[in-house]
Amino acid sequence: MFKKVSLIDTITIICPNCKSKNVVKKGQRKGKFRIKSLYYCKDCNKRFADQALNLKNKIYNPWVIIYAINCYNLGNTFSQSSKKVNAKYKVKTSKSTIHFWVNEYKNFCPVLSMRQNFAGYDDYQNVLFTKRFEHENLDYLFMYHKYKLDALSRSSFFGLAKYITDFEKGCPNVFFEVGSRCSNPLFDVKVKAKKQVNLACRMAGFAVNAARKNIQRHKIVEEFMVINDAATIACEVPVWYWDKKVDAGVTGHIDMIQIRNNLVYVVDYKPNASKDKNAASQLYHYALALSYRTRLPLSSIRCAWFDKDSYYEYAPLNAGVETKKYLLILK
């Protein structure tokens, strides 16, 4: 059913020693907990392993470390974070332990650069707004970061900020009973998606260590990105549209919405991103629905999907002829 997605490969791994991109994969190392990929830098002649894979080689369980980092980056002090971790997981950490973890894994937490601006919010309830929606017998945890939305509401994307915050009042569930799910797209798209390995991949590779079961990966990655990524503002955002001209509609939930380079990114976490043949079409419908609901021009939206190994991105306006004909019908 789906047309083949063309890929332009631009994979980049950065050397942690000299920050060079002149890096090649150079074997594997079998560790106590998992096999680690090794890389070799041609500029400084250093070998290194992906640090995102080192989390499980710790005294404390990965979910304890992830929770501690989340607590701190929600505005809590090291001491407050330690107390919350100890109470939740019945462990004995100290503020120096939390400080060590935050410093060790700071490369996975871009939000540290803005953390001082919302240090007074403290804790999940004050920084994160969450609400559960049940659509088509599936449970979705809608979440947005209050500080990031406050900043967004004062920008040219204030309409998007209002669209997201309006879900505090609820969601019009009737559209999710009659529309087609975005995971089952109405039509194919033909795109050229740029492939790379970027920070989103490394953050996902770091966060999934906390998943005790595969089914938990999605929620853990989404929450970690909303809390710790400077660009990710919300997750599981409902979108829908219904057009009488074509007697067709679409409903779905966007895994993550990001603001980068003055563009809106509609992003999905796909555990097997390179093999997902539906992703390009699904994300196109997400972008179209978000544009329809918020009046954002499609030219200001980018579509992307990723896992710990690969990140794919394309501009929806560059989609194939079939989708452009559909756009003309909707106008």
Domain that holds residue 132: 124-330
pTM equals 0.80
Mean of pLDDT over the chain = 83
105: in domain: no
pLDDT tens column, 127-154: 899 999 988 788 999 999 998 998 898 8
251: in domain: yes
Who's near 201: CB < 8 A, 6+ residues apart? 306, 307, 308, 309, 310, 311
pLDDT tens column, 98-117: 999 999 999 999 999 888 77
DSSP readout, 10-31?
------TTT--S-EEEEEEEE-
Residue of higher predicted confidence among 57 and 287: 287
Type of residue numbered 220: I
Q: Is 75 left (phi over 0), alpha (psi -120 to 50) or beta?
A: left
Say if residues 234 and 164 touch (Cβ distance below 8 Å): yes
65: in domain: no
Q: How many domains, in total, are found in the chain?
A: 1
pLDDT tens column, 151-202: 898 889 999 999 999 999 999 887 787 666 777 666 677 888 899 989 999 9
What is the spatial distance between Cα 123 and Cα 114, in angstroms, rounded to a whole number?
A: 16
257: in domain: yes
301: in domain: yes
Q: Is 88 left (phi over 0), alpha (psi -120 to 50) or beta?
A: alpha
101: in domain: no
10: in domain: no
252: in domain: yes
